[in-house]
Amino acid sequence: MSNMTIQLRRKRIFLGVIFLVAAFTILKTASYENLVLIANISSDRRLYLVKNSQELSANAVVILPPTTRAITIVPKEQVNHDIVINSYMRSGSSFLGQLIAYRPDTFYWYEPLWNYDSGVYYWGKDYVCTNHINCGYARNRNLNIGKMHETLYNIYKCDFSLLAPALAEQMTPNYSGNIWKPYKSCRARGKSVEICLKRMETVCKNAKHRTTKIVRLTVDNLEYVLEHLPTVKVIHLMRDPRAIINSRITTTWYHLHETPYDNHRRIMTEAKDLCLRMKYDLKAATVLKQKYPGRFAIIMFEDLQTDMKAKTQMLYSYVGIDKSSVESKLGNMTGILQEEHNVNRTRGNYSNWWRHQLSYGAVKVIDSVCKNVSDVLGYKIFSSESQLEDESLKAFFFRKEVLLENIYLNKLYDFYL
Q: Is 323 exposed, middle or buried (0-12, 13-18, 19+ CB in 10 A)?
A: middle
**Distance in angstroms (rounded) separating the CA atoms of residues 159 and 150:** 11
pLDDT (tens digit, 0 to 9) for every residue of the chain, 417 residues total? 566 666 666 666 666 656 555 555 544 544 433 333 333 333 343 433 333 333 333 344 444 455 544 444 444 455 789 999 999 998 989 889 988 888 889 999 999 999 998 888 999 988 888 865 677 776 666 678 999 999 999 999 999 999 999 999 989 999 999 999 999 999 999 999 999 999 999 999 999 999 999 999 999 999 999 999 999 999 999 999 999 999 898 877 777 877 777 778 889 999 999 999 999 999 999 999 999 999 999 999 999 988 888 999 999 999 998 887 777 777 666 544 344 444 444 444 567 889 988 999 999 999 999 999 999 999 999 999 999 999 899 999 999 999 999 998 878 888 876
CB within 8 Å of 345: residues ≥ 6 apart: none
CA dist 176 and 107 (Å) reads 8
151-161: burial string, b at 16+ Cβ within 10 Å, e else: bbebbbebebe
Give the SS3 label for residue 307: coil
Q: Where are the extended beta strands (E) located within 215-346?
A: 232-238, 296-300
At 49 the pLDDT is 38
Contact 217, 86 (CB under 8 A): yes
Residue type, 84: V
* pLDDT attached to residue 345: 45
Residue 172: partners with Cβ closer than 8 Å, 6 or more residues away: 109, 110, 111, 112, 115, 166, 180
Asked if residues 63 and 41 have their Cβ atoms less than 8 Å apart, the reply is no
DSSP state of 338: S
The residue type found at 114 is W
- Structure confidence at residue 136 (pLDDT): 78
Residue pair 77/27 in contact by the 8 Å Cβ criterion:
no
Beta strands of 247-332 (E only): which ranges? Answer: 296-300
- Do 278 and 241 contact (CB within 8 A), yes or no? yes
CA triplet 94, 166, 214: central angle to 5 degrees?
A: 30
**Taking the domains of the chain in order of start, what are their residue ranges?**
3-63, 82-406
Q: Alpha-carbon distance 244 to 274, whole Å?
A: 9
What CATH number has the domain spanning 82-406? Answer: 3.40.50.300
DSSP of 129-153, one letter per residue?
EETTTEEEEGGGSS--HHHHHHHHH
Output the pLDDT for position 7. 63
